Amino acid sequence: MQRTVWISTMLYLATLATSAHSATDAKRETFGTMPDGARVDAVVLTNAHGATARVISLGATLQSLMVPDRQGKFANIVLGYGALDGYVKKSQYFGATVGRYANRIAKGHFTFNGQAYDVPINDGPNSLHGGTKGFDKVLWTIGEVKHDVNAASVTLTYVSPDGNMGYPGKLTVKATYTLDGDNRLSIDYRATTDRPTLVNLSNHAYWNLSGEGSGSVMDQRLTIAADAYLPIDATSIPTGEIRSVTGTVFDFRQAKPIGRDIRDGSEIQLLNGRGYDHNWVISRTMASEPRVVARVSDPASGRVLTLKSAQPGLQFYSGNFLDGTTVGTGGHVYREGDAFVLEPQLYPDTPNQPAFGSARLDPGHEYRNLIVYEFTTEPGGTSGR
């Protein structure tokens, strides 16, 4: 009798394990074809709770992410396009991997190892996110695609040749997306080089915790774990000052609605950025392990995003340039303030501002930026703190 019960129990547990394993999946599919005929693939990651992330090989881009609200209803919470054509014609960095240098380099010029370099200017007088054909606009190679009981993942690789977009050194980059059973999506960026170079990688996902296309994020409540930020000039380049957030509209140490202070006309920094488009100083140096750098809660849906990274800086952008000309994944128009962006990274323009640290990568060393997005829910009526 005991042996029969033991066998039945083992069979039951095996069935549960098999069910859990079958619920977690990583599936490769075709997303579209580039104008030159190159195929763009997608990998759909699914966890045991039904959350799904779709990653496309163009730009190693997070194209969609479905997670539940407090009622268990799923929605896509990242902005993007339903078809490849939008990413080709007007990418806007939706969900993309940005590099070789994320953010801005003043006047597209820097001196490195005693040599002057010029990189493409594509943002007013400055270079933005690696130039006119940064990592967001190239096809990455899909490598390992795997899943087990606990998680599903995909690794994508891109090799940036020596001199690409003006940067020195051949840079080999890997981006691994992992969706685990705790509704955590991690992006693990790693890079190596064959000669000294600069590197600063990040992800440019636009978030709306109520669901993409649902309208404004100005009521969603943001916390940033930073005592200081970097003021910018009229072209969005840091002035070099590290300024305390105390007593300013840039103080997000306690949770507050994104839009609470965004229309303060007395703050020149909001005019310079047309809203928030600044780098917060999380620390002066790289941390040894990812720690919480930001948290966003949505009173409407109950969704909560907790962001972890070891990077010293966090660029927060409040969707200031969404202009109503883009139709997104769900068929809705994206307008100003319909999403926010949180990019863990080195400080902008570090190659021209030694006081900000170094973006140098040497042969024999590995660059890494591990970004972890954790999704939970909270009940209605909470403060979001």
Active site residues: 204, 343
Contact (CB, 8 A) for 213 and 334: yes
3-state secondary structure (DSSP) of residue 257: strand
d(CA 351, CA 361): 12
3-state secondary structure (DSSP) of residue 69: coil
**Residue 133 φ then ψ, to 5°:** -135, 70
Q: What is the 3-state secondary structure (H, E, C) of the chain?
A: CHHHHHHHHHHHHHHHHHHHHHHCEEEEEEEEECCCCCEEEEEEEECCCCCEEEEECECCEEEEEEEECCCCCEEECECCCCCHHHHHHCCCCCCCEECCECCEEHHHEEEECCEEEECCCCECCEEECCCCCCHHHCECEEEEEEECCCEEEEEEEEEECCCHHHCCCCEEEEEEEEEECCCEEEEEEEEEECCCEECECEECCEECCCCCCCCCCCCCEEEECCCEEECECCCCCECCCCEECCCCCCCCCCCEECCCCCCCCCCHHHHHHCCCEEEEECCCCCCCCCEEEEEEECCCCCEEEEEEECCCEEEEECCCCCCCCEECCCCCEECCCCCEEEEEECCCCHHHCHHHCCCEECCCCCEEEEEEEEEEECCCCCCCC
d(CA 227, CA 371): 21
